[in-house]
Amino acid sequence: MFRSLLLSTVAAATLLAAGPALADTKGMKIALSNNYAGNSWRQAMLKSWEKVTKKAVADGIVAQVDTFTTAKNDVTEQAAQIQNLILQGYNAIVINSASPDALNGAIKQACDAKIIVVSFDGIVKEPCAYRIAVNFKQMGADEVEYLAKAHPEGGNTLEIRGLAGVFVDDEISAGIHEAVAKYPQFKIVGSVHGNWAQEVAQKEVAGILPSLPADVKFVVTQGGDGYGAAQAFKAGNRPTPQIIMGNRQDELQWWKEQKDANKYETMSVSIAPGVSTLAFWVAQMILDGKKVPQDLTVPFLRIDQAGLEDSLKTTEKGGVANTEYTAEDAAKVAGGK
């Protein structure tokens, strides 16, 4: 159902219009360097990557695809990982980065070794790399815009951030704060890092609740934290605020239960975990000689009240609302016809 969320580019370069050829990369190797796997979004991302790349290997499109994940979002470990991948002779490295700039040295080494580097989600600033990103700042701003339209009177707001030091966390938070400056009736009374994980968010929200005003009306989030926030408010005997959700199945299920019980309303937004598969196909296209802009964008995946039930039906238990991409999708992203 999400395929209709078509992709757009942010570059104006002249591109080769032909679709992706699938012959010249059959002897090549692609690696995924992933900085973190400790939440349901990352698990869904890895699952989509394995599903699509395994088939690509079986179909003879590439010779080998391997996955490497660092333990705790460790920049030093990921830099060493990239250097090892260079030595192991991979033709392309797809990366979800622990930092937008701390890995630039290792990435430049890869580029100098004629290795294609495609970053997604946690993108990098090194100019030689390709970037596939959502406008995360707009995603944060849209949360506040939604609340301002539904509740023009505003109110006290709790912010739950993601993984500290990561590009995505900084951008979403910046978008939230810029929108709050536009709508000062929304006052951010507290902020915690939930690491995009329900159990972490629940613990951190429970920890800050006693210091917050009694009338917290709204919770703005980054994904993977809505259900945890709801449980923390419940355990603290606090009224349930309007919580922006992040497309996780447990969040959507909780939202539906509240909607059925008391007409609870909210919205849900996140990047689709399957963006990893788009990054794979973009890397394959570049290896195949296609010209691709250095910077590409995909829309974030938003679920509104009217689409809740349909979205929940297509999201597996414990998973995340998702879409996976094809080689043809990648050609559209890159400006092909």
CATH class of 136-270: alpha beta
Same topology, domains 8-134+271-302+316-333 and 136-270? Answer is yes
Kindly state the helix (H) or strand (E) to which residue 193 belongs, with its residue range.
strand 186-193
Q: How confident is the model at residue 333 (pLDDT cuts 50, 70, 90)?
A: confident
Burial (CB count <10 Å: 0-12, 13-18, 19+), residue 11: middle
Give per-residue pLDDT as tens, 77-114: 999 999 999 999 999 999 999 999 999 999 999 999 99
Cβ(45)–Cβ(275) below 8 Å? yes
For residue 61, the model assigns a pLDDT of 97
Distance (Å, whole) CA 51 – CA 61: 14
Give per-residue pLDDT as tens, 108-155: 999 999 999 999 999 999 999 999 988 999 999 999 999 999 999 999
For residue 212, the model assigns a pLDDT of 98
Q: How confident is the model at residue 71 (pLDDT cuts 50, 70, 90)?
A: confident
Domain ranges across the chain: 8-134+271-302+316-333, 136-270
The rounded radius of gyration (Å) of the Cα atoms in the chain is 20
Above 90 in pLDDT, residue 324? Answer: yes
DSSP H helical segments within 183-322, as ranges? Answer: 198-208, 226-235, 249-262, 275-287, 308-313
Q: Which CATH superfamily is domain 8-134+271-302+316-333 in?
A: Response regulator (3.40.50.2300)
Query: What is the torsion angle, in degrees rounded to the nearest 10, for the CA atoms of residue 270, residue 108, residue 62 and residue 73?
Result: -40
* CB burial readout 212-241, b (16+ within 10 A) else e: eeeebbbbbbbbbbbbbbbbbbeeeeeeeb
Cβ(111)–Cβ(126) below 8 Å? yes
User: 267 phi and psi, to 5 degrees?
Assistant: -140, 170
User: Minimal CA–CA distance to 222: which of 255, 200, 189?
Assistant: 200
Using a pLDDT cut of 70, give the percent of the chain over it: 93
Mean local confidence (pLDDT), 164-191: 96
Written as six digits, the tokens of 320 are 């995340």
- In the beta sheet, which residues pair with residue 132? 120, 296
Give per-residue pLDDT as tens, 188-214: 999 999 999 999 999 999 999 999 999
Distance (Å, whole) CA 4 – CA 277: 17
Cα torsion 204, 208, 214, 216: sign: negative
Q: Which residues contact 34 (CB under 8 A, 6 or more apart)?
A: 42, 45, 46, 67, 68, 69, 70, 95, 96
Distance (Å, whole) CA 159 – CA 177: 10
Give per-residue pLDDT as tens, 34-60: 999 988 999 999 999 999 999 999 999
Cβ(247)–Cβ(226) below 8 Å? no
For residue 250, the model assigns a pLDDT of 95
Cβ(268)–Cβ(255) below 8 Å? yes
